[in-house]
Structure 1
Amino acid sequence: MQVVSEREGSGHIARENWSNKRDYVLSMIGYAVGLGNIWRFPYLTYKNGGGAFLIPYFTMLLVTGLPLFFLESSFGQFCSQGPINVWRAVPILQVYCNINGTLTEMVQTCNPADKVKMDVQSPSEYYWDNVALQRSSGLEETGPVVWHLALCLLLSTLLAGASLIKGIKSSGKVVYFTATFPYVVILILLIRGVTLEGASEGIEFYIGSQSNLTKLSDAQVWKDAATQIFYSLSIGLGGLMALSSYNEFHNNVFTDTLVVSITNAATSIFAGFAIFSIMGHMAHVYKLPVTEVVKEGFGLAFIAYPGALTKLPISPLWSVLFFFMILIVGLDSLFAEIEVILTSLQDAYPKVLKSRRPLLTIATCSFLYLLGLPCVTRAGIYWVTLIDSFVATWVVLFLVLLEIVGVSYLYGVNRFINDIEMMIGKKSPHFWLWWKACWLFFTPFILLVILVWSLWTFAPPTYGDIHFPSWGLSLGWCMLVFVLMWLPIGAVYHLTKAKGSLLNRLTSVCAPSEDWRPYLERHRKESHPEDQGVHRANNPNEADDNSDYQL
């Protein structure tokens, strides 16, 4: 870790940087590669035409995933601030990350709306429902906290807190293990899987001769590809901005975007082979088609796949490896999700919180643990499904649409490109043609289509064949309204604080604020020459000119 403490210009509290580029890249890979890569992508590939699904998948990576990842990473690196202060660039949207970083990210990797009901329960399904979850009959029957789930939640929270308590100095080293170990396990499972009898049947259904190119004419296939890219890269949750804000100013964020995004996509494909080789063996053992042993989401990760592992020699070994991998992948994402909150709070109140990182980490983790307790009751799986259906999907889509509109149209795509070129060097106009087309047209259009389609085709959520009560659905809508209502409230607040006529105020809050700039003075001199000499108001959260830590 390095600490920013230069004596140039007006003062700021010191801010960390990554010790080296490896810490950052591994942290980003650990954050982006989540549970959805392992349990959702393989099912979507099988469901949507096998190998044919890779065509829309990589198309959507090109027109939505890469542009959004590049945008968020560049934005955070330019100002070296977290996901709240970064919106000084467009003050009318500055309330954005207060919502985004705390209420949606904790359920984002779940995607739990699965069909897990079978006519006859398998042993693994019985264990999942009656032992692991102790699942009640519905949302209305909350029941007590399931103590072993509460202890698991406590363990994961303690591990995350211990890794983050010293900032990126500690978490940047932890990811050397947590970001790489899952690949070792996937490789071991793949080698074991392909040597099993019947493995070829599973791989054939996954990406082999069963590929169905006619699926490409189905619009649902393209929607599935876009949403999988969107969520697997963890776009819109604030983590990309928070982690990139600790980069050196001249770090090549474009190269990082390519490395992390391509690694994420390759991981999904790689994990699919490990999953489906063993599922093919399971189908062979049970004398069933692969279609009857494959499940989605929780059903694949906690019912079908563990059931298949029990059929292998030395089954406890494979089960321990698999579930330890699931734990590590989840922790990697949790690290970044909590770091979003810590970074945002420290950047917003540096005088108070910068020197109290351990206390802030403990308080944040404790609060998040208490928030998670309803999800480890006997009705917890229903609460997770409800929150995911109403908050984690629509809200993130809507907020990222606002994000790209705010950067491309309010802040200005040409100004944003100038900011990026300050960091990575000048590029030819041809280099930016594709990125401008995506930021201005392709990506916002696709996001809008997905959002409208999701609302148009909305059906009340269920868990298997269990429907939610009317009061539960009403509560879901209330959660949605509660999250989104802060956007107009924040906009009105900024308008009332501005001066002049209504038009002047609106223009003012849609333009960069006076304290929007790179963190260090030497980099500010490179920033927008037309702004030089313009008086900038002091940020009330910044240190004064006599601070021990100067820019």
Structure 2
Amino acid sequence: MASPSEAAHPPEAHRGAFSSRRVFILAAIGSAAGLGNIWRFPYVAYENGGGAFILPYLVALLGAGIPFLLFDYAIGHRFRGSAPLSFRRMSRTGEMLGWWQVGICAVIGVYYAVIIAWALRYTIFSTNEAWGDDPNGFLFGEFLQVADPGIGLDFVPGVLVPLILVWVVVLVILGLGVQRGIGAASVVFIPLMIVAFLALVVQALFLPGAAQGLNALFTPDWAALADTGVWAAAFGQIFFSLSVGFGIMITYASYVGRRTDMTGSGLVVGFSNSAFELLAGIGVFAALGFMAQANGVSVDEVATSGLGLAFIAFPAIISEAPAGALIGVLFFGTLVLAGITSLISVIEVVISGVRDKLDLSRTAATLAVVVPSGLVSVLLFATTTGVPILDTIDYFINRFGIVLVAVVTVLVVTWAYRELPDLRAHMNLTTSFPLGRWWMVLVGGLTPLVLTFILVQEFRDALAEPYGGYPAWLLTFLGWGSAVGVIVFAIVAALLPWSKRTRLDKPASLVTVTSDRSSGKAER
């Protein structure tokens, strides 16, 4: 016989669910361990004290990263919905926060897929070193055919075809559902990604000059610890790499059984993500050490991050290294796997929100989200002006989208809705690692302070100097426009009515359920 709580809220199968805690953990690791772990962390660590950076990194992980991860888990697991529905069930005024996060994920998804398409193409290029003697010229010239912003919007066939393939893969995975799609893909892709990257690291460690690169990465600069910018970099790296603050972990946690140990799961995901980042640092700098020795220069002259590392520095390494083709296939193949598992988590936030709002089937919601996202992705980023558009939107949506919504969300939930005690009690009911008051202090106090500091610093930098030297129209309409646009979208989406079949009342608390059971009452 169904309990009143079950009658008020559809069964888990209606939305989908992960079959086990293990599958959920793999999916969460897949979301967290993305492109930034491989091409951003090594350089951030190198630039901010080398070996000494490990100290602020660990402080950031334990003091803000994992606590915020558990904050997201608690919201999704307690309120059993997408980001908009979870916040709506928390408070009638909270829905906009969820749609803000959905909007950010929609924007990120349309350009993130493009980078995966580039990596897919470079996996093939690695077999014959198609970039020749000039990886930089090949990337921006023959491959991407980059035009000055505003000059050309011609399609680039070399990007168009793999980009369409990426969206087809995403459509199939997400169309299959939470377990048969996301869960099954994570069970296959994550172990494969780890094996491939371990093979890459081992190969890199045997390159001549690898020790020089590792020495450059891990030699500590203790004086750097006195620089607040180094600490801000550590918190920023942790925050972005864990996929927290913009709806992903809220959504994934809503697909987990009610009596799952969420705090223990969070610790596994947090430390696994950091272990992968450390492994990436070792592999990347071992390879950069080889490149430096081969060219007779110091490591700092070849060290870089982002697109420059992946699509310029590594192709140069592949061209000179023994078994270069193998290194290339492993490196770019890992980027593809890491990118796909992250992309499906980003798009799932949007699909989940649309499903809950309109009460659509999985197939209908997936088509309604993925097809338009793919079209926008192709029209904007598979063109000769795709690179500057991508670079601009990525910069602004990360700095003034993700960070801002995270600060606002944690402050509202903590100080306006006063939900932290309830969330802590919920998490502690089925936990292997109880959350004390220290967790509420870290989430409601330290985290917003640090993120606000980072946000103010980024805002000052953006006003002081035009980002990337791009024209004002590009920064205004696509940069600031994307950051403001997601807020406008959130307001409009929150004003639209919910489907009459979507229940908006707060689910029964596990605390109440357990109390009733201990008194011999029926679960409600």
Q: Which bin holds the TM-score, normalised by the shorter protein?
A: 0.7 to 0.9
Q: Report the Cα distance in structure 2 between the residues aligned to 1:106 and 1:436, rounded to whole angstroms.
A: 31
Within 5 Å, which residues of 2 pair with 1:46-61?
A: 46-61=46-61
Question: 1:12 is matched with which residue?
Answer: 10
Within 5 Å, which residues of 2 pair with 1:173-212?
A: 173-207=184-218, 210-212=219-221
CA contact (8 A) 2:18 2:24 kept: yes
Question: 162, 168, 171: which is aligned to 1:161?
Answer: 171
141-150 or 255-264, larger mean C-alpha shift: 141-150
Question: 2:100 is matched with which residue?
Answer: 99
Question: 1:376 is matched with which residue?
Answer: 382
CA contact (8 A) 1:57 1:229 kept: yes
Residue 179 of structure 1 aligns to a residue whose secondary structure is helix
Query: In structure 2, do the counterparts of structure 1 residues 194 and 165 end up closer, same or farther at CA, with 3 Å as the change threshold?
Result: same
21-30 or 103-112, larger mean C-alpha shift: 103-112
Percent identical among aligned pairs is: 27
Question: 1:418 is matched with which residue?
Answer: 425
Question: 2:506 is matched with which residue?
Answer: 517
CA contact (8 A) 1:185 1:325 kept: yes
CA contact (8 A) 1:182 1:329 kept: yes
Question: 226, 235, 243: which is aligned to 1:217?
Answer: 226
CA contact (8 A) 2:76 2:254 kept: yes
CA contact (8 A) 1:309 1:318 kept: yes
Question: 2:406 is matched with which residue?
Answer: 400
Query: In structure 2, do the counterparts of structure 1 residues 205 and 342 end up closer, same or farther at CA, with 3 Å as the change threshold?
Result: same
Q: Report the Cα distance in structure 2 between the residues aligned to 1:329 and 1:189, rounded to whole angstroms.
A: 14
Question: 1:501 is matched with which residue?
Answer: none
Give how far 1:314 is off.
Answer: 2.9
Larger radius of gyration: 1
Q: Report the Cα distance in structure 1 between the residues aligned to 2:448 and 2:346, rounded to whole angstroms.
A: 25
- Unpaired runs of 5+ in structure 1? 113-120, 495-513, 530-550
Q: What are the superposed Cα offsets for residues 152-201 of structure 1, whole Å, 9 maximum, x if unpaired?
A: 11111111111121201222111112112221122112211121211100
Query: In structure 2, do the counterparts of structure 1 residues 36 and 473 end up closer, same or farther at CA, with 3 Å as the change threshold?
Result: same
What code does the residue aligned with 1:472 have?
L
CA contact (8 A) 2:110 2:374 kept: no
- Unpaired runs of 5+ in structure 2? 116-131, 497-502, 517-523
Question: 1:292 is matched with which residue?
Answer: 301
Give how far 1:40 is off.
Answer: 0.5
Question: 1:320 is matched with which residue?
Answer: 329
Within 5 Å, which residues of 2 pair with 1:25-424?
A: 25-88=25-88, 89-103=90-104, 104-106=107-109, 123-136=134-147, 138-170=148-180, 171-207=182-218, 210-350=219-359, 353-354=360-361, 357-373=362-378, 374-412=380-418, 413-424=420-431
Give how far 1:423 is off.
Answer: 4.5
Q: Report the Cα distance in structure 1 between the residues aligned to 2:395 and 2:302, rounded to whole angstroms.
A: 25
TM-score w.r.t. the length of structure 1 is 0.82
CA contact (8 A) 2:153 2:383 kept: yes
Question: 1:473 is matched with which residue?
Answer: 475
Query: In structure 2, do the counterparts of structure 1 residues 321 and 237 end up closer, same or farther at CA, with 3 Å as the change threshold?
Result: same
Question: 1:536 is matched with which residue?
Answer: none
Residue 196 of structure 1 aligns to a residue whose secondary structure is coil
177-186 or 280-289, larger mean C-alpha shift: 177-186
Q: Report the Cα distance in structure 1 between the residues aligned to 2:357 and 2:24, rounded to whole angstroms.
A: 22
Give how far 1:328 is off.
Answer: 0.8
Q: What are the superposed Cα offsets for residues 363-382 of structure 1, whole Å, 9 maximum, x if unpaired?
A: 32111111112122111110
CA contact (8 A) 2:103 2:486 kept: no
Q: Report the Cα distance in structure 1 between the residues aligned to 2:54 and 2:467, rounded to whole angstroms.
A: 29
CA contact (8 A) 1:517 1:527 kept: no
CA contact (8 A) 2:113 2:343 kept: no
Question: 1:450 is matched with which residue?
Answer: 454
Residue 16 of structure 2 aligns to a residue whose secondary structure is strand
What code does the residue aligned with 1:92 have?
T
What code does the residue aligned with 2:392 have?
L
CA contact (8 A) 1:29 1:260 kept: yes
Q: Report the Cα distance in structure 2 between the residues aligned to 1:452 and 1:522, rounded to whole angstroms.
A: 38
Q: Report the Cα distance in structure 2 between the residues aligned to 1:153 and 1:421, rounded to whole angstroms.
A: 44
Q: Report the Cα distance in structure 2 between the residues aligned to 1:368 and 1:277, rounded to whole angstroms.
A: 38
Q: Which has the higher helix share?
A: 2
Q: Report the Cα distance in structure 1 between the residues aligned to 2:459 and 2:515, rounded to whole angstroms.
A: 41
TM-score w.r.t. the length of structure 2 is 0.86
Q: Report the Cα distance in structure 2 between the residues aligned to 1:410 and 1:96, rounded to whole angstroms.
A: 13
Q: What are the superposed Cα offsets for residues 343-368 of structure 1, whole Å, 9 maximum, x if unpaired?
A: 11112222xx13xx223323321111
Quote the RMSD (CA, aligned, Å). Answer: 2.9
CA contact (8 A) 1:93 1:490 kept: no
